[in-house]
Amino acid sequence: MTEPLPLAAEPECERHCGPAGSDRRHFLFAAGATLVGLTIPGLGVAQAKVAAYPRKKVGLLSKLKKGEAVEFRYPWDHANCNTVLLKLGQEAAGGVGPDKDVVAFNGLCPHMGWDIPAKKFFAVPGIAGPCPGHWTTFDLTRYGMVVSGHATQGLPQVLLELDGDDIFATGVLGLIFGFHDNKAEPKE
């Protein structure tokens, strides 16, 4: 009976790194793991930055008087974010409070960005304007929709929430003039 021939030994890696090809596989695996580790946290941060508007306290319900505008900036401390908070004394779409009559709107006209001063926000009849640029008026009881004039978009409405007596701004309906994204921090 013939003795079986011994199996040929696997060629030894010159750098003592195991069977041929194993160091390449180890390298690809390690590189992949590193990429996953770098990519997922990056994506997580990016998503967190665009996920939500800030929640900002902007006034006290008990201090508001019908027709007296209160001004603040939202969502950024930027001139384009001038916002007018107003108690209309009549129910309004998006209004908060027991009478659903407290609303807030961005003060820049969406037509060409002229500033509509707070004194041109009228609780009665619930109109903002006319805009000093080209005379557009906006209905504050109906989400800021255009009543008449050149603007083709309504005045952006700042969303409000009530927590006890505290009024919070929590978002914006409509694009603020001059911005490509309300939630992207303006550069200047």
Q: Which residues are catalytic?
A: 111, 134
Taking CB under 6 A as the rule, does residue 131 contact ligand FES? yes
Contact 121, 69 (CB under 8 A): yes
Q: Which of 62, 63, 151, 163 is nearest to 105 (CA)?
A: 151
C-alpha 128 chain-centroid distance: 24
Query: Toward ligand FES, which CB reaches closer, 29 or 135?
Result: 135
Residue 148 in contact with ligand FES, rule: CB under 6 A: no
Amino acid at 9: A
Distance between CA atoms of 88 and 96, rounded to whole angstroms?
A: 11
State yes or no: residue 134 binds ligand FES (CB under 6 A): yes
Q: Which of 86, 96, 109, 147 binds ligand FES (CB under 6 A)?
A: 109
- Residue 94 Cβ, how far from ligand FES at the closest point, in Å? 21
User: In this chain, which of 112, 124, 162, 184 binds ligand FES, going by CB under 6 A?
Assistant: 112
Cα–Cα dist 134/150, whole Å: 6
Q: State how far the Cα of 156 lies from the Cα of 91, in Å rounded to an integer.
A: 18
Q: In whole angstroms, how close is the CB of 127 to ligand FES at the nearest point?
A: 14
**24 part of the interface to ligand FES, by CB under 6 A:** no
Q: Using CB under 6 A, which of 97, 117, 133, 171 touches ligand FES?
A: 133
Among candidate residues 99, 94, 98, 67, the one with its CA nearest the CA of residue 155: 94
Interface region with ligand FES, contact rule CB under 6 A, candidates 45-53, 59-67, 147-155, 178-186: 147-155
Structure tokens at 4: 């079986």
Instruction: Give 44-48 contacts, CB < 8 A, sequence gap 24+.
Output: none
From 24, 26, 49, 150, residue interacting with ligand FES (rule: CB under 6 A):
150
Q: Which of 149, 171, 174, 186: binder of ligand FES (CB under 6 A)? A: 149
Give contact residues for ligand FES (rule: CB under 6 A). Answer: 109, 111-112, 114, 131, 133-134, 136, 149-151
